[in-house]
Amino acid sequence: MLGTGDGRFAPCKQLDSEPASSIFLADFDGDGTADLLTTGVSSNGPNGMRFLKGAGQGAFATGVTISLPDMSSGASAVGDVNGDGVADVVAASWRFSGSSRLATITTYFGSRTGFIVGSSFDLPLIPDLAGGAPIKSLMLWRSAKGVLQLIVSRDPGTVDTFSMDTGGTLVLSSSQSSVFGSLFVDFNRDGYLDAVRAVSGGGIAVSFGWEHGWLPQTNVSVVPGSFVFAADINEDGYPDLIGLGGGTITISLNRGGTALDPPRSYFVSGGSIESS
């Protein structure tokens, strides 16, 4: 939906018919125009990412599929890995291996001639406890020491931290269990990523990051919703938390990284948003 400049949007336009769980808008071919990249989740066969080349003014070319080695987990991250000014993508795929699941992380370098497949890295076998994709999320992050890192959240509640060179080669820096992060953000602005997740029954828990990993989780707010996002809504420099689900948008403002305001809910009804 294109913004009209007065707080409203033009009618929704379908750009691709393939299902998507992650959507990225970035310049993947270095032509100065934003492109669209989507990834989906598969559980019954190989699939890939979808690339829609930007044509400018909100228009995109027909989507093309970028193959992954195995079934897509839907987890991917976008950033300039090799420092050439063109966006690259790191994606996770997986397959069954006996009673376990094998996940592979692959780097795809953006270029004017299309994506160039870089190095791949196989994670240790992951027990098939709950079924489905074993990788929950990926995030590219430059650490407080200036090192490019890839954060991998996987079953069963484990977070792996890799250092990453400009060729996409991954070196495992640390692995920590009992960290259940679905969203990673520097919540308290100390230069270390914090792991944020929704907890059973409603609410948000944060495992604060430090030099050697993550501390035990702390419940910081009750923000209901099936999806949790972070954005600096009030422009104070600290990420606030947003919950979406059941026709409700819930916002809790971050107060200096150690506490959140009581959540305030907004109900979406008939195309309008009403405060609770």
User: Quick check: 276 pLDDT over 60?
Assistant: no
pLDDT of residue 273: 46
Give the list of residues 6+ apart from residue 195 with CB closer than 8 angstroms, or none: 153, 159, 179, 180, 181, 183, 184, 206, 207, 209, 214, 217
Q: Which of 56-60, 112-116, 195-199 has the lowest mean pLDDT?
A: 195-199
Q: Which pLDDT belongs to residue 150?
A: 92
Beta carbons within 8 Å of 157's beta carbon, 6+ residues apart? 177, 178, 179, 180
CB 195 within 8 A of CB 181: yes
Look at residue 200 and tell me whether its pLDDT is greater than 70: no
For residue 143, the model assigns a pLDDT of: 83
Kindly state the tokens that stand for 36: 């669209």
Q: What pTM was computed for the model?
A: 0.79
- 168 DSSP assignment: -
Q: Cα dist. 94→89, 97, 126 in Å?
A: 17, 9, 10
DSSP β-bridge partners for residue 69: none
- List, as one string, the DSSP characters of 196-244: EEE-TTS-EEEE-EETTEEPPPEEEE----SEEEEE-TT-SSS-EEEEE
Q: Report whether 275 contacts 269 (CB < 8 A).
A: no
Interatomic CA distance for residues 53 and 93, integer angstroms:
23
**Among the ranges given (157-161, 175-179, 185-189, 190-194), the one the predictor scored with the smallest mean pLDDT:** 175-179
- Residue 31: is its pLDDT beyond 90? yes
For residues 59-80, average pLDDT: 86
Structure tokens given for 108: 């795809």
For residue 115, CA distances in Å to 1, 67, 106, 152 come to: 27, 11, 12, 22
pLDDT-derived band at 272 (thresholds 50, 70, 90) equals very low
The tokens describing 102, both together, are 């094998």
Distance CA 149, CA 206 (A): 20
Q: How far is the C-alpha of 189 from the C-alpha of 222, rounded, in Å?
A: 21
Inform me whether the pLDDT recorded for 71 exceeds 70: yes
| Composition of the chain by helix, strand, coil, percent to 5 | 0, 50, 50
Distance CA 89, CA 140 (A): 9
What confidence score (pLDDT) does residue 191 get?
Answer: 85
Average pLDDT over residues 53-63: 87
Q: Residue type for 235, please?
A: E
* 146 vs 243, more confident: 146
Residue 247 to residue 254: CA distance in whole angstroms: 23
* CA distances, 139 to each of 7, 94, 99, 153 (Å): 31, 17, 27, 9
Whole-number pLDDT of residue 153: 86
Per-residue confidence (pLDDT) for residue 97, from 0 to 100: 80
**Using an 8 Å Cβ cutoff, are 91 and 108 in contact?**
yes
